[in-house]
């Protein structure tokens, strides 16, 4: 699997983000392309320690089993619910959201494991930098495919 810590894998994601335009349509789901770009920033902000979300009660019982699913190729599926703090209801400015996401993604390759300041995911519990990398890669890949890139 590709890695955001690897410059080549990171560039792959950045190139795919560059292929989006304000009129790119979703192949499924309800988000607009601008909402998706902002939505993708939130879990990265969580990993970088700039967004704080209290642990969900489920994490105390199911965190280990959730983390085991990181290697599942179908970790994300259509119309899956998300953490309420990751839901975007407003319509962000496309270019601002795109640039902000690209900046956040680039930090993975630039700073490596040091980029991860928060080790606790609200559902998956304590996570290593490698687990954060897998989760972020799969999340980005899933939503970029949702918008055809």
Convert the pLDDT of each residue in 41-83 to its tens digit.
999 999 999 999 988 877 777 777 777 777 766 767 676 678 8
For the chain, the farthest-separated pair of C-alpha atoms sits apart, in whole angstroms, at: 42
Report whether 94 contacts 36 (CB < 8 A).
no
pTM: 0.91
Pairing assessment for the beta strands 125-126 and 120-121 based on DSSP bridges: antiparallel
Q: Is residue 61 part of a domain?
A: yes
Q: Is residue 1 part of a domain?
A: no
Domain ranges, residue 128: 7-146
Q: Is residue 2 part of a domain?
A: no
Convert the pLDDT of each residue in 87-128 to its tens digit.
999 999 999 999 999 999 999 999 999 999 988 888 888 999
Q: How many domains does the chain have?
A: 1
DSSP state at residue 121:
E
C-alpha span between 105 and 40 (Å, rounded): 10
């Amino acid at each position: 699997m590709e890695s955001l810590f690897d410059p080549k894998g990171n560039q792959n994601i950045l190139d795919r983000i560059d292929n989006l335009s304000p009129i790119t349509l979703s192949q499924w789901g309800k988000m607009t392309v601008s909402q998706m770009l902002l939505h993708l920033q939130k879990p990265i902000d969580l990993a970088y320690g700039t967004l704080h979300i209290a642990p969900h009660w489920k994490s105390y019982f199911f965190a280990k089993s959730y983390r085991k699913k990181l290697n599942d190729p179908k970790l994300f599926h259509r119309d899956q619910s998300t953490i309420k703090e990751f839901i975007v209801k407003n319509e962000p400015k496309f270019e601002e959201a795109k640039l902000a996401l690209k900046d956040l993604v680039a930090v993975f390759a630039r700073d490596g494991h040091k980029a991860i300041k928060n080790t606790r995911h609200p559902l998956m519990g304590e996570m290593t930098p490698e687990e954060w990398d897998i989760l972020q890669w799969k999340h980005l890949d899933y939503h970029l495919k949702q918008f055809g890139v």
